[in-house]
Amino acid sequence: MKTLTIVVFVVAAAMMWALANLVMPALAQSSTQYSVYCANGKIEVDMRTPAQMKSARGSDVCQLSEFNYLSDAQSFAKKNFGGVGAKCSCR
């Protein structure tokens, strides 16, 4: 009986470890990203991927940087380009 209890415990621990290894990478990948884009000659901060931005804004879109926090993206845009809405070029 004691051996069976140990086996059940080991199997349960292994299953929990396997489940954690499946779930954690998915959670890490789902973190929100904010990007600074030059889109049609103007600076934008957006959560969309580069492909989504090109679909929404056309081909004149380039990603300038990416951040985990909106405030960091806005600060980068302001410090380096004058802020959201400022003129820019993808060339």
Same domain (yes/no): 48, 11: no
Mean pLDDT, consecutive 10-residue segments, the chain of 91 residues?
63 62 56 95 98 96 98 98 97 87
Q: Where in the sequence is the domain holding 66, given as residue range(s)? A: 34-81
Q: ∠ CA 35-75-72 to the nearest 5 degrees?
A: 55
Distance CA 10, CA 7 (A): 5
With respect to residue 87, please indicate whether it lies within any of the assigned structural domains: no
With respect to residue 45, please indicate whether it lies within any of the assigned structural domains: yes
Distance CA 21, CA 15 (A): 10
Same domain (yes/no): 26, 39: no
Same domain (yes/no): 26, 42: no
Same domain (yes/no): 43, 60: yes
With respect to residue 91, please indicate whether it lies within any of the assigned structural domains: no
Residues 6+ apart with CB under 8 A from 62: 37, 38, 90
Whether the CB-CB separation of 73 and 65 falls below 8 Å is answered with yes
pTM higher than 0.75, yes or no? Answer: no
Amino acid, single-letter form, for residue 38? C
pLDDT at 3: 74
| Count: domains in the chain | 2
